[in-house]
Chain A
Amino acid sequence: MLELLPQAIGLIMTPEGLIALTFGTLLGIVLGALPGIGSTVAVAMILPFTLTMGQAPAILLLLAIYAGSVYGGSVSAILINTPGTPQSAATCLDGYPMAQRGEAGKALGWATQASVIGGLVSAVVLILAAPQLAAFALNFGPIETFALILLGLTCIVSVSEGSMRKGLIAGALGLFLATVGGDPITGETRFTFGQFPLIAGFDLLAVVIGVFAVSEVLIRLSGGDDGSASSVQFRGLVLPRLREWKGRLSGLSKSVLIGNVIGILPGTGAATSAFISYAEAKRSSPRRARFGQGEPDGVIASEAANNAVTGGALVPTMALGIPGDAVTAVMLATLTLHGVTPGIRLMADNPLLIAAIFTGFFIINLLLLPLGVLFGKMASPLLRIPEAWMLVLILMLSSLGVYFVRGNPFDLIVMAAAGIGGFLLRRQGYPMAPLVIGMVLGPTLEMSLRQGLIITNGSFATLFIGHPIAIGLLCLTLLALSLPLIRHYR
């Protein structure tokens, strides 16, 4: 891989390649910051424009959009308490309180540096060890995935501010919402109450935008104050100094590791990694008591992990031709369009193309820093528009984004209903993050458990036998649940 570096750089340093990298990254940030346009939609939107480009610039443009959008989601999460993408839902938890305190620029600064470091490390891991890691990921079957998702569910405990009972109820509600639609094993429809549009289930993005953005607008309109009515002051991004990272580096490395591992594994993604990383930081950070009130460690944990997923997800995609998530699936389709067959021989048959893609991915993550600062400058006048207009703007952009995903008007109804439901629940003190965790993890939880039970012929007792990785994850889950109790009673 490394010996091809000079040639690969030559392939990237063409006018087309450079435009793909810079323009793609900036556009990705903008699309990610727009509420409702997630990474998958952003990449699919750009795909038609790549058809006339060369192989390497086409893939690099999509990668730039991907990495940029994952980072961009944090901007709206911090500034307007609306995650631009579900991956940034955990960033709201501490990012928005920081912004309310007048530290919006600083919060974005932490998010930017954490994203860049997460992305860069994942790029290095990708370049150095993609084939080996992909081989490891093959050991990760349905039963291991089930154990990982159980561990992920413990995050509900960490993000339940105020009342544990209410947090668990919100989490259970999220899990239930995820079951509506088609049964993943039998294909039958369920919980649709005879309503045909429900056959496809609730769209995650529509619900996330509803419970965060629409309910936020309703709360501000009602003047019902949960302390968030004050408008956010933002005059551009403030990068933290090196010495301010002191004491935060071990947390950062843990988050990067979590993001990388989860990215490589099949079946989960950036949203899961951000929540798991946030929960881990809240458990182990020396400043854990301040989590939820605007603690930079929370922003760092979420953003370092979700950007580290991007490189991780490319590992199985490039090494095995098996897409790690919906975004990388679109990338493989693009390769097909350019006459390259994705598959296990991809790296062996196209070493130069792969080297260019990996090198370009590293450069994209470097570019996140200056382009993030630039976007901060571009976005700051937007926040000075009157609040009423701001609310209208949020609602309009959200509706457009949600409709764009599946072209289904029903999703707008879902968004509105989730907004009203979220508004009522938030007024009663129910946190919304657990609901999102439930909806993100629910489908994989059910699928992996039921797949596991097919493998063991329906036996729960033998589910984990012969699966040491799963048993290890199960022990971690028990530990995560019992540590707070032990700490409490000591």
Chain B
Amino acid sequence: MIDLQDPIAIRVRGIVNRFGSQTVHDGVDLDVRNGEILGVVGGSGTGKSVLLRSIIGLKQPEAGEVTVFGESMIGKEEDEAQDIRRRWGVLFQGGALFSTLTVAENIQVPLREYYPDLDQTLLDEIAAYKVVMAGLPPEAGPKYPSELSGGMKKRAGLARALALDPMLLFLDEPTAGLDPIGADAFDRLTKSLQQTLGLTVFLITHDLDTLYAICDRVAVLADHQVIACGTIPELLATGHPWIEEYFNGPRGRAATATVDRNRQLGA
């Protein structure tokens, strides 16, 4: 039974993932609380995207348990998973827009798939306000993905991820490849949508600014496991060398300084 009020939206227990002889995950445990933005960080190759794929069912882990809103996701039949699938939206790294469809049609794909009875006028209206909601200019509707810039592709991908009014949003490196202004704008958009729509967000990122600016908690993947999960001060208190280096390296310090400065300006 799907329980949307479950205080733990995603529960990951003991996930094991291997590619051939290479172990990516060895007993990953993670809780994503309802209504929070959880940032997932880790060095390259620590399996951040693999973890995402395991949760949304694109990859079956070798062992372990994943539940979303109290519903187990492992070994689900395709049609059983449908009910849970329409409660989440996924933004892939490159946007993953369908290249033969326009932006508006891309947004309508999930709507048509799950609610074939919706009439065209309503579909168009929904697509229209989602386009604006994702921060795209109104003339982006009839454009094809190849005509969009990297930032606009991400926004269009976000609009499609939000098409079904999901409870859960998965973002895979949403600000990678964006300029600082675009990245900042995307962060704000994520935060404001999360607040107004009451979303739970699972966010993979390398962007320290994003972590400081919008994440409620951060999970750190290293040594095939989640070595720590909590607010940034809590993570720093663990004293783990990788975490120290990550947040206290030159880039980490710069991001902290920016956040502090912004706080002072805001105060």
Do A and B share a complex? no
Interface of A with B (CB < 8 Å)?
Answer: none
